[in-house]
Amino acid sequence: MGLVATDRHGTLRVTMSESAVLQQDFSKRLREQKRGLFFRQIDLQSMILPGVIAMIIFNFLPLYGLTIAFKNYRVIMGVEGFFTAPWVGFKHFTDFFSSQYFGRVVGNTLGINVLGLAIRFPLTIVFALFLNEVVHSGFKRFVQTVSYLPHFISWVIFGGIIMQLLSIEGGVVNNFLIWLGVIEEPIFFMGEPRFFWFLAVFTGMLKEIGWNAILYLAAIAGVDLQLYEAAIVDGAGRFKRMWYITIPSIAGTIVILLIFAISGIFNSSFDQIWVLQNSLNVSRSEVIATFVYKVGLTQMRFSYATAVGLLQSVFAVFMLMGANFISKRLTDRGLF
């Protein structure tokens, strides 16, 4: 081949080899140039550095740590154990599937979250729709501000307050129900397993409904007012306007949030469940997140607990993909 060429700066270059080598030479120069740029930006790059180090240490190293789900890692093995522990394949996964806890833990996780999705998801939209109908803007802002407040309170405090309301020793809920004549003896709400799922759903809703309605309210605020005016001219009432204008206009937001909600049905709020759980209601309150913590860090079964946690993440990814796929088929909308 011709052995004379010019590089991109127009310098005449003569090489003895073929074009591949030339190209190599180019890319090398390009890399050098980039490195030059890197060093010229040394102050900018030094701003990036701490973040990159933090990501590598706290986000990427644990991802490698997931491999112990397929190994038999014991704490005495120390750091080398991450590399040298014997591979056991899917043993920990099958152990979990065949254990007595599988049904209970997955059942509670799904029970609480599916029930929560069915109740909370529509009610949040309803709240947003009706809040939007409040005419007095000061009152509207006040309602909104108050509805966010519980979001900023920790689950320990919020759960603690709930327990006070439901207390068997003169809690206001029991007193009220007795006063109404609904019950004669106070009910031990926190100690009865059969109440737990509803308790989790209801307290979760009370705490987050205002916060979760924000995106809907923002979407509603963006709806073209002319549509409403036209509908009023056509004689559509308030509810018809909600149904035929507002809801279709915010359908995109609804679908996206629904996909996220569905992908979250294997994820419980550890904080919430941990606070509300006790030894009496544990049969209905043990979820994957609390199980992983107990098995992993109190029984020190690291590999097994990692496998259970990984399983939860994998389920979540499948749910996300599935919900996205179905939504694309049905509504032509999706996340990706």
Partner 1 sequence: MAIVGKKDDRLFRTLNGLGMALLIFVTLFPFWYSTVGSFSEGLDFTRGNSVFWPNKPTLANYRIVFRNSEILQSYRVTIARTIVGTISHLVITSLFAYAFSRRGLAGKKIYATMGVITMFFYGGLIPTYLLFKTLSILNTFWVFILPALFNFWNVIIFSSFFREIPISINESAKMDGANEYTIYARLIIPLSTAVFAALGLFTAVYHWNDFFISLVFTTRRELQVMQVYLLKVIQTREAASAMAGGSVTPQEAGDARASNTRTIQMATMLIAAAPILALYPFLQKYFMKGVLIGSIKG
Using the contact rule CB under 8 A, the part of the chain among 5-13, 91-99, 107-115, 169-177 near partner 1 is 169-177
Q: Does 122 bind partner 1 (CB under 8 A)?
A: no
Q: Does 270 bind partner 1 (CB under 8 A)?
A: yes
Q: How far is the CB of 68 from partner 1 (least distance, A)?
A: 7
Helix (H) / strand (E) element for 209: namely: helix 196-212
Q: How far is the CB of 270 from partner 1 (least distance, A)?
A: 7
Q: Does 131 bind partner 1 (CB under 8 A)?
A: yes
- From the CB of residue 309, how many other CB atoms can be counted at a distance below 10 Å? 19
Helix (H) / strand (E) element for 319: namely: helix 302-331
Q: Pick from 17, 19, 27, 154: which binds partner 1 (CB under 8 A)?
A: 154
- From the CB of residue 96, how many other CB atoms can be counted at a distance below 10 Å? 21
Q: Does 331 bind partner 1 (CB under 8 A)?
A: no
Closer residue to partner 1 in complex, CB, 68/201: 68
- Helix/strand/coil percentages in the chain, nearest 5: 75, 0, 20
Q: Pick from 145, 283, 299, 331: which binds partner 1 (CB under 8 A)?
A: 145
Listing DSSP states for 4-67 in one string gives: EEE-TT--EEE-SS-HHHHHHHHHHHHHHHHHHHHHHTHHHHHHHHHHHHHHIIIIIHHHHHGG
Q: Pick from 183, 238, 299, 326: which binds partner 1 (CB under 8 A)?
A: 238
- From the CB of residue 333, how many other CB atoms can be counted at a distance below 10 Å? 14
Give the interface size with partner 1 as a residue count (CB under 8 A): 90
Site residues (CB under 8 A) for partner 1, limited to 212-231:
212, 214-215, 218
Residues contacting 3, CB < 8 A, separation 6+: 14, 15, 16, 17
Q: Are 296 and 306 in contact (CB under 8 A)?
A: yes
Q: Does 150 bind partner 1 (CB under 8 A)?
A: yes
Q: Does 211 bind partner 1 (CB under 8 A)?
A: yes
Cα gap 197→6, rounded to integer Å:
74
Q: Does 271 bind partner 1 (CB under 8 A)?
A: yes
Q: Does 133 bind partner 1 (CB under 8 A)?
A: yes
Binding pattern to partner 1, positions 68-87, x when CB under 8 A? x----------x--x-----
Site residues (CB under 8 A) for partner 1, limited to 26-65:
34, 37-38, 41, 43-45, 47-48, 50-52, 54-55, 57-65
Q: How far is the CB of 5 from partner 1 (least distance, A)?
A: 27
Q: Structure tokens of 301? A: 């079964």
Q: Pick from 135, 180, 182, 225: which binds partner 1 (CB under 8 A)?
A: 135
Using the contact rule CB under 8 A, the part of the chain among 3-11, 92-100, 110-118, 127-135 near partner 1 is 127-135
Cα gap 78→246, rounded to integer Å:
58
Closer residue to partner 1 in complex, CB, 3/156: 156
Q: Are 22 and 15 in contact (CB under 8 A)?
A: yes
Q: Are 197 and 284 in contact (CB under 8 A)?
A: yes
Site residues (CB under 8 A) for partner 1, limited to 1-30:
none
Using the contact rule CB under 8 A, the part of the chain among 8-16, 90-98, 104-112, 301-309 near partner 1 is 301-309
Pairing verdict, β 4-6 and 12-14: antiparallel
Cα gap 240→228, rounded to integer Å:
10
